[in-house]
Structure 1
Amino acid sequence: MLFVIPGIIWWIKFRFFSYFIVDKGFGPIKALKKSSEITRDVKLDLFLFEVLLRFINVVGALCLVVGLVITVPVTLVANAYVYRELLKQTQVTPDFEISKANEDKLEI
């Protein structure tokens, strides 16, 4: 029990790291940091959202497993939508930053 609750909290905290790798091209460490940043104040809401998505998938499985053909894509799109909405709420910077020393070299 002592490992389950912190595991759920860490899972919610870092659940969007793969989205940052694919969408923004971040490295793994920066993607983990950014995932932690966008989920900082909404962990309980994300947990309840995930419980709802799991319930929807269970209902789809109870419909002779054929319902999963509909519920799994819907839940994946819902996750992507939540990622986009959380991204709008926070300022995400690119993985690279041009320093003043390198800026002079870039000018032609």
Structure 2
Amino acid sequence: MSNDVPRVHELNLYRQYFDLVAAGTKTIEVRVKYPHLTDLAVGDTIRFRIKGTEETCHVKIQRVTEYTDFEAMLDGEGPEYVNPTAGREEQLANIRKIYPPEKEALGVLAIRIELNG
């Protein structure tokens, strides 16, 4: 089986971030490097879903960059691409509410996305 075939990954997203992705204003998705995300590749599709709903949004992966922590990721990517509605320090606090230190220690993925359409 060839690894060149784009895949579809299913990921949940909070409403506030889903709306930014669907509007095309959030172009960097942040995740910790869970084992099931290590195979994300350029050209793959992510189907974001708001948990508990049927509402979905499809994006294409443009780039995946690994960072050691959230601060390095925000500095490297630019907070305006991660969440254009919040400043750097607010974003850092919000991300760390979602992902505690033991999760951040797994490594951080910055996923450059573009709306499918």
Same fold (TM over 0.5): no
Q: Which has the higher helix share?
A: 1
In terms of Rg, which structure is larger?
1
Q: Which has the higher strand share?
A: 2
TM tier, shorter chain?
under 0.3
TM-score using structure 1 length: 0.26
> Which fold has the larger relative contact order, with Cα–Cα distance below 8 Å and residues 6 or more apart in sequence?
2
